[in-house]
Amino acid sequence: MANKVPVSLLSHHPINRSIYTLSSIDDLMRSIDEMGLLQPLVIDQNNYVISGNRRLKAIQKLGWKSVSIEQRIVADDEVVPLIISYNHQRVKTNKELIQEYQAMEEAIGTSQGQRNDLLNPTCATSGTSSRNPRTRDVIAEKIGMSSSQLGRLLFIHSNNPKYIELIDDGELTINKAYQHLQDGHKYTFAHGENRNPNDFYNTPYRMTEHLLRVENFDKSLSVCEPATGNDGITNILRNNWKPELITSYDVERDFFQDTNSYDYIITNPPFSQAIEFINQAKLLATNKFCLLLPLNYLHGKKRYEEVYKDTLYGLARVHVFTRSILMSDDPIRDDGKVPAGMLVFAWYVFENGYREAPQITWIDNGADLY
């Protein structure tokens, strides 16, 4: 039976906070503000919230003084399974899935010693462990994923934890990261330990030529290239704009300190700073801006929250190259051609005042490969 208690008496459960992030709750706040709280919070005997931590955060921000709760007496060995059970339908990051596994493993007393199924790629795919062959299978079922996929995640995390963030950000797939580690890091990713220290990748001429062919620009308006590098984009702009309308610079000037306005911004930004470049471009580009980024930049929880939810300066078009290319710091070829690679790139076009769903088109760049 639900009772009401002062919100000030309730706290987020520390185990919940160690597993899950309290992500953006704006939509949840609007829903609760309009419809109220449809389900009571579940708390334990110590007034820790077992189920409803995001709802607690939302009502705290809404200024609620009291809230309906259902109180349960929870034994210490029940806390982790109960919290994970209540979060079974939650959309989780891979990092959160790993943290669920680690919490469950500790809760059932299997965390002592080194686990073969976490460190051995063969075991990671076969689902076997010399110590306890069923541990991962049991936990995988409880957290709602296959044992083999969980095994790959754990193998990746054990060998290079930062890859998990790249997977969650959409820069890598689980399979690609796993294969990369198994093959001795022979692949080069736009992100990861093989990345160029300064995120410097030359832009083949034809990639910008394609953009100018599929996207409309008024050539009497100003344009800026704030990450010009070896002028891969700037040289094409010089063929289409008058010199006095072009601003281009690189490390000698800080884009984030620029206060000038430009009608257009066209650039291939450092991938590690793409969100920062997007936010700054929204301040400086009065018409639209175009960024060359990997296609998988479309997904990722952080990007959705910080970039794609914007309804004032929205993503209007995505021009997708049909063929994967290798972006590198090698000299730009005069003919604009590039070698085949592992990443598909796209031009992301953000337009001031655009509020609709983005349109997707394709650019056939098959003739650009050598």
Q: What is the three-class DSSP state of 286?
A: strand
Say which residue, 311 or 205, is predicted with more confidence. Answer: 205
pLDDT class for 200, splitting at 50, 70, 90?
low
Residue 208's pLDDT is what? 95
pTM to 2 decimals? 0.54
- Two structure tokens written together for 268: 């291939």
pLDDT at 329 over 80: no
- Cross-strand bridge partners of residue 71: 43
Close Cβ partners of 183 (under 8 Å, ≥ 6 residues apart): none
**C-alpha span between 331 and 227 (Å, rounded):** 16
Residue 184's pLDDT is what? 67
Element (H, E) at 247: strand 246-248
Could you give the dihedral angle defined by the CA atoms of residues 138, 142, 144 and 150, in that order, rounded to the nearest 10 degrees?
Answer: -40
Element (H, E) at 23: none
Output the CA–CA distances (angstroms, integers) from residue 197 to 159, 187, 273, 308, 328, in the order listed: 21, 16, 13, 27, 12
β-pair type (3-6, 66-71): antiparallel
pLDDT tens track for 127-163? 333 345 478 888 888 888 888 888 889 999 998 888 8
For residues 165 and 95, the answer to whether their CB atoms sit within 8 Å is yes
Close Cβ partners of 91 (under 8 Å, ≥ 6 residues apart): none
pLDDT tens track for 225-273? 999 888 899 999 999 999 999 999 986 678 888 999 999 999 999 877 8
pLDDT at 224 over 50: yes
Domains and CATH numbers, the chain: 3-86 (3.90.1530.10), 94-182 (no CATH), 205-368 (3.40.50.150)
pLDDT tens track for 301-313? 778 888 888 878 9
Element (H, E) at 350: strand 345-352
